[in-house]
Every structure is written in structure tokens, then in C-alpha cells.
């Protein structure tokens, strides 16, 4: 009986060990895959904000400029995205990222490509609060009418985040101010909620509400 228990126990330990190994290996491969994408030369140049390096890589023709990462995001989307608490850091990044946009587009970047959430580069720039990047994308005819999986457009994302300058630019280019998200909220509703949630950004939200209240 004791021998049977020992065999069963050893078998269980072997099964548990093999299961853990498979899980660790699977995680490791997944990690390496994501790391490889994040370390893609174009994305690295963008993250390091080295315009000369990005230009050289983009013009070499040796890289897939529309390579997708695990979230189906391209280098153009990465260039249009930052997430800083500091407005000064965001503005500094905006200045450095804006010249990257025409470089990528000129060399074949798909301007209206949408990621796994249905967001485009313009939507990411609007969410991030980078008006200079938004300007470059709009000049390149990026569509402000694209809709994400949750019903968001570039305008609703900018309104939600309190990015007044972006809202001003989008409305000047004819963005639809009446579009509703899947939760049946228009941009002005999102700005009103944002003002209550983030009182430190009240001035920006108030300006957005004023802009969106115009007939």
C-alpha cells in the first residue's frame, strides 16, 4: 500500500513539474515575442526620439514599416502615443514626435491602420494630447471619422482626456461632434464627466465644452 502511495505521489509530482515547465516556457516564449516587437528598430528609434536614426531606418527599405506588434499597433501608432502625467513632458515629446510622422508616412506607413481596439494613429495622438502630431496626421489626410470597438473617435478620446487644443483642431477639420460611443456618450458628455473627475484639468474641459457647444 505504501509503495502504491509512493508511486502515485511521484507521479503527481512529475505531472505538476511538467505542467509548471510548460507554463513557464509558454510565458517565456510570449515574453520574448513581445520583447522582440517592442525592440523593433523603428520602435526603438521612436522611443529614444532619435529622428535621424528613424529616418535612416525608414528610408533603407529593409524594414516592414507596417509591422504589427501583439496589439496590432504599428510604428506610426507608437510615434503618436505617450502617457505622461506631466504636461511639459507631453509637450516636449510632441515636439520630438511630430517630425517623425511625415517620415513614416512618406516611407509607406498606413495612416489609417487600426489596432486591436480599433484605434488609429490619429486616435492615439488625440488621446495622448499631442496637437503637433495631430496636425501632421490631419495634414496627411488621416481620417477623423474612424470608430474604435467601443465607439470612440479621435474627438471623443480627446474630449475624455481634456485635450482642448486637439478638439479645436479636429472640429476645424469637420469632425462629427454628435457621434456617440457604445455607452451613448457624446464628446461633450465625456468632457463634462472628465471635469468632475479631474478638477485639476477644469480649464481644459471648460474650453472643450465651450467649443462643442457652438452650433
Are the beta carbons of 100 and 51 closer than 8 angstroms? yes
Are the beta carbons of 67 and 40 closer than 8 angstroms? yes
Domain that includes residue 198, residue range: 2-213
Are the beta carbons of 86 and 78 closer than 8 angstroms? no
The number of beta carbons lying within 10 Å of the beta carbon of residue 189 is 18
Write the CATH number for 39: 1.25.40.20
Q: What is the widest separation between alpha-carbon atoms in the chain? A: 86
More confident residue, 4 or 90: 90
Question: Based on the structure, what is the number of domains in the chain?
Answer: 1
Task: Give the tens place of pLDDT for each residue, 154-204.
Answer: 999 999 999 999 999 999 999 999 999 999 999 999 999 999 999 999 999
108: left (phi over 0), alpha (psi -120 to 50) or beta: left
Task: Give the tens place of pLDDT for each residue, 133-160.
Answer: 999 999 999 999 999 999 999 999 999 9
C-alpha–C-alpha distance, residues 147 and 120, integer Å: 9
C-alpha–C-alpha distance, residues 148 and 36, integer Å: 27
C-alpha–C-alpha distance, residues 64 and 87, integer Å: 33
Amino acid at each position: 500500500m505504501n509503495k502504491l502511495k509512493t508511486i502515485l505521489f511521484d507521479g503527481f509530482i512529475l505531472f505538476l513539474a511538467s505542467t509548471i515547465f510548460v507554463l513557464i516556457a509558454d510565458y517565456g516564449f510570449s515574453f520574448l515575442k513581445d520583447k522582440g516587437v517592442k525592440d523593433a528598430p523603428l520602435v526603438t528609434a521612436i522611443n529614444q526620439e532619435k529622428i535621424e536614426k528613424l529616418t535612416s531606418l525608414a528610408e533603407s527599405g529593409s524594414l516592414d514599416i507596417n509591422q504589427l506588434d501583439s496589439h496590432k499597433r504599428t510604428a506610426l501608432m507608437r510615434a503618436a502615443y505617450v502617457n505622461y502625467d506631466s504636461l511639459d513632458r507631453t509637450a516636449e515629446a510632441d515636439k520630438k514626435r511630430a517630425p517623425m510622422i511625415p517620415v513614416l508616412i512618406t516611407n509607406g506607413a498606413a495612416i489609417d491602420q487600426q489596432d486591436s481596439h480599433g484605434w488609429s494613429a490619429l486616435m492615439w495622438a488625440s488621446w495622448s494630447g499631442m496637437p503637433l502630431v495631430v496636425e501632421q496626421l490631419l495634414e496627411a489626410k488621416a481620417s477623423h471619422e474612424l470608430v474604435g470597438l467601443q465607439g470612440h473617435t479621435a474627438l471623443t478620446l480627446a474630449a475624455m482626456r481634456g485635450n482642448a487644443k486637439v478638439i479645436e483642431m479636429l472640429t476645424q477639420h469637420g469632425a462629427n461632434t454628435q457621434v456617440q460611443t457604445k455607452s451613448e456618450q457624446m464628446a461633450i458628455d465625456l468632457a463634462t464627466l472628465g471635469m468632475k473627475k479631474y478638477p485639476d484639468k477644469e480649464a481644459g474641459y471648460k474650453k472643450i465644452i465651450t467649443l462643442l457647444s457652438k452650433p
